[in-house]
Amino acid sequence: MKIIDIKAYPISFKVPENSSVRLGIGLAVKRDAVLIKVMTDEGIIGWGEAHHGRCPGAIAKLIDTTIKELIIGMNPLNNLGIWEKIYKMQLSSHGMGYASTMALSGVDIALWDIKGKFFNSPIYKLLGGTSKKIPSYAGGIALGWQPPSSLAEEALSHISNGFNAIKLRVGDKITFDIDRVKKVRETIPEEIEVLVDANTNYSLKDAQKIMPFFDEYNIGWLEEPFPAMEFKSYKSAKSFSNVFLAAGENHFTRYEFARLIEDDCITYAQPDVSKAGGVTELIRIANLMSGWNISINPHTSLTAINMAVSIQILASIANSGYFEGDVTDFNPFRDDMDVSPFKLDENGFVEPLDTPGVGIDINEKFLSKYPLIEGPCYI
Ligand SMILES: [Mg+2]
């Protein structure tokens, strides 16, 4: 089997004003994704999703030009060989760094979709996994900065839908963060786990001030207090309290995750399959982290493809943690594809789709409905 063509589709939608959420990286005004179609000479088509990198047109262009030229004619079942080729020719020298890693991630997901279709098997079975139940928390672009009482109400609504864990957005002025967390913790049942995400918006001083409070309020993890490349800050913050640190949605490839292990600063790893290097690399990262008892809690990107493949991976690894259940109020990229990527059961668990490959195919009607909108997605 040979790859005969590759096409990337940058897609966007505007967030309706009444559904907009503010968090540490700004106000969400638009959402983007890059879908990738890999075509083969045997007629099997694979679909993947690359993270948009806040410039989906650029990621799509990279895939449609340089990446396509590199791998056309290769056997799509050779995911390791294709990964290594893109790594050597694009990531290792001069090659647009993280943009290339995002492009590679989306292509790799499409290759695993092809592999699953070729062997008539969901991905988790090819990886030695089982259809196990995976705990899910209420995440996505939700539970953002808002008055404490409405935040507590929103939290209750997710809990009534079955979630046993929720993630609040912090990273605001720390007095506001404290008021919100207190109100939610006091409103919801004690057994519900509360996680918090600062979206890289704390200074070291902020973290020093607020982390003892998070510990006192039994917060499950503090996610991304700092920008991903500020490794020294993560290392310093570990001594500020007993609250566990989580990070990974802005770390790329096993090499950056290896640094997180060396620094011994995080307890929860959150690689995004559409950013960190695809299915092939997520499995390597998971195996690497398992030696340090660090669990994998994949960051969820935007479309049903990312969500479905994240669950496939969680079903395939020993150190699986939470699936991030996207409870974003308005997300047609989750809801408007033909198949729903996850279904929460009454106990707050999800299971992988049991259809060949990723389990999500894209039709032309969907693609034409959501053309690229240029510009920033957070302001
Ligand atoms: Mg996050």
Q: Is 41 a member of any domain?
A: yes
CB 312, CB 124: distance < 8 Å: yes
| CATH number of the structural domain spanning residue 285 | 3.20.20.120
What tens digit of pLDDT does each residue of 320-360 get? 999 999 999 999 999 999 899 999 999 999 999 999 999 99
How many angstroms is it from 139 CA to the middle of ligand 1? 9
Give the Cα separation of 71 and 6 in Å (integer).
Answer: 9
How many angstroms is it from 136 CA to the middle of ligand 1? 15
Structure confidence at residue 285 (pLDDT): 98
What mean pLDDT is reported for the chain?
97
Q: Is 304 a member of any domain?
A: yes
What tens digit of pLDDT does each residue of 171-217 get? 999 999 999 999 999 999 999 999 999 999 999 999 999 999 999 99
Q: Is 93 a member of any domain?
A: yes
Structure confidence at residue 20 (pLDDT): 87
Say whether both 221 and 87 belong to one domain: no
CB atoms within 10 A of CB 126: 18
CB atoms within 10 A of CB 17: 7
Structure confidence at residue 291 (pLDDT): 97
State the total domains in the chain.
Answer: 2
If you average pLDDT over residues 26-37, what whole number do you get? 95
If you average pLDDT over residues 134-147, what whole number do you get? 96
If you average pLDDT over residues 60-76, what whole number do you get? 98
Q: Give 236-300 as a DSSP string.
A: HHTTS-SPPEEE-TT--HHHHHHHHHHHT--SEE---TTTTTHHHHHHHHHHHHHTTTPEE-PPP
Q: Is 142 a member of any domain?
A: yes
How many angstroms is it from 117 CA to the middle of ligand 1? 32
How many angstroms is it from 114 CA to the middle of ligand 1? 30
How many angstroms is it from 203 CA to the middle of ligand 1? 16
How many angstroms is it from 225 CA to the middle of ligand 1? 9
Give the Cα separation of 317 and 249 in Å (integer).
Answer: 18
How many angstroms is it from 43 CA to the middle of ligand 1? 38
If you average pLDDT over residues 8-30, what whole number do you get? 93
What tens digit of pLDDT does each residue of 40-61 get? 999 999 999 999 999 999 999 9
Say whether both 85 and 63 belong to one domain: yes
pTM above 0.85, yes or no: yes
How many angstroms is it from 298 CA to the middle of ligand 1? 10
Say whether both 267 and 180 belong to one domain: yes
How many angstroms is it from 272 CA to the middle of ligand 1? 10
How many angstroms is it from 193 CA to the middle of ligand 1? 16
Say whether both 232 and 250 belong to one domain: yes
Say whether both 269 and 328 belong to one domain: yes
Looking up tokens 């988790």 gives 124
Provide the residue count of the chain: 379
Q: Give 1-26 as a DSSP string.
A: --EEEEEEEEEEEEPPGGG--EETTE
Q: How confident is the model at residue 120 (pLDDT cuts 50, 70, 90)?
A: very high
How many angstroms is it from 142 CA to the middle of ligand 1? 11
Give the Cα separation of 95 and 85 in Å (integer).
Answer: 12
Say whether both 62 and 175 belong to one domain: no
Rounded (5°) CA angle 299-375-201 = 45
If you average pLDDT over residues 20-36, what whole number do you get? 94
Beta bridge partners of 92: none
Q: How confident is the model at residue 364 (pLDDT cuts 50, 70, 90)?
A: confident
Q: Residue 211 is part of which domain span? A: 124-350
How many angstroms is it from 23 CA to the middle of ligand 1? 10
- For residue 305, is pLDDT > 90? yes
Q: How confident is the model at residue 137 (pLDDT cuts 50, 70, 90)?
A: very high
How many angstroms is it from 227 CA to the middle of ligand 1? 11
